[in-house]
C-alpha cells in the first residue's frame, strides 16, 4: 500500500509544520497533494525579491497560502509601488497578525485600507513619508507592536498636533530617525500609556517641543528601553528616566551617553528593579560607573559590556564581588581588559558561580589558560560565546567537556585555533548540547552524524 495514501491531510500538515524551512522546497516537489498541503499549513512567509514583482502574480502567489499569519516583504532596491504591494498583501492575507513591510514609504490611505483588511494585526513595521502622520493607528484595535521608519517627504499638509486624544493599545514602540520637526510623534507619546517597551534608533530628538511632556509621561510605565546611536538625546533621556521611571527592568545604550549622564543614571536612578544592563561602545565608561552599579543595582541579573576601553580589572572585580549571588549573565565583548589583565577571569569565575550565560566574543588575544581558569568555577553555564577569539585552541574544547556539563548552546565561530578534532570531541561528550555555531569545515562526518542523532543543531 502507498504510504502517501495512509497518511491523512491533518497528519501530513502537522509533519510539515515541524520541518525546518529549507525542507519546504523538497516537500513541494513530491506531488500536487503535498504542495497543496504544504501551502495550507504555512503560517509564516518571508519574501525577498531583487526587483519589483508583477502585482497580479504576487497576489496570486500569496493567495496560495490561505493561513498566513506572519509576512515579511523585502525588495531591493526600494520601489515606488509600495502602496500597491501593501494593498496586495492586505487583500490576500486577511488572517495576518504580524507584518514587516519596509520596501518604501507607504501612504496614510493604504494603511487605512490595511486596518480594514487585516483587523487582527498585532505587530506592524512600516516605512512612512514625512511629515509623519499617525491618524491611521487608532483603527488598528489589536495592534500591540509598532515600528516606524521615516523616509522621504510626501509634500502633504503637516497635521502636527491637529490630533484628538485616543488611547492606543500599543505595548511596544520602535522609532528611528526622529527629528525636532516631527510634530506627529507627540500624538504617540500622549496616547501610548500602555507602552512598556521603547526602542529609539538614530533619533536626534523625541519630536517637536510640544511633544516633550507627552514623552515624559510615556517614560513612567516603561519596563524596557533601548537607545541606539541617539547621541544628542541620550543624556537627556537618561536624566528623565532616572527621575520618572521606577519600573524599568532592562536598559540598552549603544553609542550614546556621556560620562556624566551615565554616572547620574547609575547613582540617582529610581529603577530598583533593573535586571538587565547592556552598554555598547560607551567610550567614557570607567571603574567609577562599575562601582556605582555595584552599589545601586542590587537586582541586576544580566550585565553586557562591549568595547569598554577605560574599564580595568579592579572595577570588574568590585562588580563581580558585589553581584556574586545574583548575576546570571555576563558579556565582556571586545573588552581589552580581558586580555590585558591576567587572572581577571579566574577571579570573576570564583565570584560569579551562578553564571548561566557567558559571552567573551572578539577578545582576539584571549588564551586557553585564562578561559579555562574561569570555566573551572562556572559549572552552571548553559550558554557560552567565544566567537572571534582567535588564540583559543582545542584545549578549551576539552575543558568544556570536563567543566561545563550543562552547556546547551556554544558559539566558537572564527576561532582559528580550534580544529575539527576539538569540535568532534566536544560534540561527542556534551550530553546537554542543543546548538553549536561553528564553521562547516570543522564538523567531521562523525560529529555531524552524532549531532543529527542527538538533535543537536549545527549552525555555520
Instruction: Encode pLDDT of 206-259 as tens digits.
Output: 988 778 888 888 888 899 999 999 999 999 999 999 988 889 999 999 998 889
Q: Is 321 exposed, middle or buried (0-12, 13-18, 19+ CB in 10 A)?
A: middle
Beta bridge partners, 332, equal 305
Query: What single-letter DSSP state applies at residue 209?
Result: G
Rounded distance between C-alpha atoms, residue 424 and residue 432, angstroms:
15
pLDDT digits (tens, 9 = 90+) for 267-324: 998 888 899 999 998 778 999 999 999 999 989 999 999 999 899 999 999 999 999 9
Place of cell 491611521: 136
By CB neighbour count within 10 A (0-12 exposed, 13-18 middle, 19+ buried), where does 246 fall?
Answer: middle
Task: State if pTM tops 0.75.
Answer: yes
- How distant, in Å, are the alpha carbons of 278, 333, 334 from that of 386? 18, 9, 10
Q: What is the pLDDT of residue 121?
A: 96
Alpha-carbon 455 to chain mean position: 25
Q: Which residues of the chain have pLDDT under 50?
A: 158, 161
Residue 184's nearest CA partner among 143, 146, 147, 134 is 134
Location of C-alpha cell 530628538: 205
* Residue with the three cell numbers 564553521: 439
Cα 148 to chain centroid distance, Å, stands at 16
pLDDT value, residue 346:
96
pLDDT attached to residue 79:
60
The pLDDT assigned to 338 comes to 92
3-class secondary-structure state, position 121: coil
Amino acid at each position: 500500500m502507498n504510504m502517501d495514501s495512509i497518511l491523512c491531510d491533518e497528519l501530513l500538515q502537522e509533519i510539515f509544520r515541524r520541518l525546518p524551512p529549507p525542507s519546504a522546497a523538497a516537500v513541494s516537489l513530491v506531488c500536487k497533494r503535498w504542495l497543496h498541503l504544504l501551502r495550507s499549513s504555512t503560517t509564516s512567509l518571508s519574501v525577498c525579491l531583487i526587483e519589483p514583482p508583477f502585482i497580479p502574480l504576487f497576489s496570486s502567489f500569496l493567495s496560495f497560502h490561505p493561513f498566513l499569519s506572519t509576512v515579511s516583504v523585502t525588495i531591493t532596491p526600494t520601489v515606488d509601488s509600495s502602496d500597491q504591494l501593501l494593498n496586495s498583501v492586505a487583500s490576500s492575507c486577511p488572517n495576518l497578525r504580524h507584518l514587516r513591510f519596509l520596501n518604501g514609504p507607504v501612504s496614510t490611505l493604504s494603511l487605512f485600507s490595511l486596518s480594514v483588511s487585516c483587523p487582527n494585526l498585532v505587530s506592524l513595521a512600516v516605512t512612512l513619508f514625512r511629515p509623519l502622520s499617525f491618524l491611521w493607528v487608532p483603527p488598528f484595535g489589536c495592534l500591540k507592536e509598532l515600528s516606524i521608519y521615516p523616509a522621504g517627504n510626501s509634500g502633504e499638509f503637516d497635521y502636527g498636533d491637529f490630533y484628538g486624544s485616543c488611547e492606543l493599545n500599543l505595548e511596544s514602540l520602535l522609532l528611528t530617525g526622529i527629528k525636532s520637526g516631527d510634530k506627529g510623534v507627540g500624538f504617540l507619546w500622549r496616547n501610548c500609556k500602555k507602552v512598556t517597551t521603547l526602542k529609539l534608533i538614530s533619533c536626534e530628538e523625541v519630536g517637536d517641543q510640544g511633544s516633550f511632556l507627552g514623552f515624559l509621561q510615556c517614560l513612567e510605565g516603561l519596563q524596557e528601553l533601548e537607545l541606539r546611536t541617539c547621541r544628542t538625546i541620550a543624556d537627556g533621556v537618561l536624566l528623565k528616566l532616572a527621575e520618572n521611571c521606577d519600573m524599568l527592568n532592562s536598559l540598552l545604550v549603544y553609542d550614546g551617553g556621556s560620562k556624566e549622564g551615565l554616572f547620574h543614571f547609575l547613582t540617582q536612578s529610581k529603577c530598583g528593579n533593573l535586571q538587565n544592563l547592556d552598554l555598547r561602545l560607551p567610550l567614557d565608561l570607567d571603574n567609577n560607573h562599575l562601582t556605582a552599579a555595584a552599589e545601586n543595582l542590587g537586582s541586576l541579573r544580566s550585565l553586557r559590556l562591549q568595547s569598554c576601553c577605560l574599564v580595568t580589572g579592579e572595577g570588574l572585580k568590585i562588580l563581580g564581588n558585589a553581584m556574586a549571588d545574583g548575576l546570571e549573565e555576563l558579556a565582556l565583548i571586545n573588552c581589552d581588559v580581558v586580555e590585558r589583565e591576567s587572572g581577571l577571569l579566574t577571579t570573576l569565575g570564583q565570584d560569579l558561580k551562578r553564571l548561566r550565560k557567558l559571552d567573551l566574543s572578539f577578545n582576539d588575544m584571549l588564551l586557553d589558560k585564562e578561559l579555562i581558569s574561569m570555566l573551572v568555577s562556572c559549572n552552571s553555564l548553559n550558554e557560552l560565546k567565544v566567537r572571534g577569539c582567535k588564540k583559543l585552541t582545542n584545549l578549551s574544547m576539552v575543558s568544556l567537556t570536563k567543566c561545563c556539563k550543562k552547556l546547551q548552546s556554544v558559539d566558537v565561530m572564527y576561532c582559528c585555533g580550534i580544529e575539527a578534532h576539538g569540535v568532534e570531541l566536544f560534540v561527542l561528550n556534551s550530553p546537554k548540547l542543543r546548538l553549536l555555531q561553528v564553521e562547516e569545515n570543522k564538523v567531521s562526518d562523525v560529529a555531524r552524524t552524532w549531532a543529527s542523532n542527538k538533535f543537536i543543531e549545527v549552525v555555520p
